[in-house]
Amino acid sequence: MKNVSATLVRLAACAALAFGFVGQSLAADSKADGTWTWTMQGREGSTPRKMTLKLKTEGEKLTGKLTMPGRQGAEPREVEIQEGKIKGEEISFNVVREFNGNKMVSKYTGKIAGDAIKGKMEFERNGEKMSRDWEAKREAEKK
């Protein structure tokens, strides 16, 4: 009887541990969910532009939209992110925009730490590879 009790206790402990890891894994996957904002300096020192990124995770897949102000008072533009991925705290996604028939791809990478994402955005301008740092803060949920 003593062996059966000990076996049941071990089994229950293993099950609790397994469920804990699953729950922790699911929580880690959703750490990117929400609305994130940051400002990006405008071209040639012009007014900084507020960027808004809405993210949703599904396993290791990251989906969402980036909203950025339009140029010179135009309506804001909303673009679906592409090739979004999350692995632990690391995220990556692309933003593809079109100007006058030309596609411009910006590749974002970052690391989530609490309510902040710090990373790099890489793009090409006039055939030259360029990069910028970006740091987004999670917006509090509106109730």
User: Residue 15 domain-assigned?
Assistant: no
User: Residue 16 domain-assigned?
Assistant: no
Cα–Cα distances in Å, from 84 out to 36, 62, 65, 119, 134?
A: 15, 4, 11, 14, 17
pLDDT in tens, 15-35: 444 444 444 444 445 789 999
Domain ranges, residue 101: 31-138
pLDDT in tens, 76-124: 889 999 999 999 999 999 999 887 888 889 999 999 999 999 999 999 8
Q: What is the pTM of this model?
A: 0.73
User: Residue 130 domain-assigned?
Assistant: yes
CATH number at residue 56: 2.40.128.30
User: Residue 11 domain-assigned?
Assistant: no
Domain count, the chain: 1
Contact between 91 and 117 under an 8 Å Cβ cutoff? The reply is yes
Residue with tokens 């949920």: 141
User: Residue 131 domain-assigned?
Assistant: yes
User: Residue 23 domain-assigned?
Assistant: no
User: Residue 20 domain-assigned?
Assistant: no
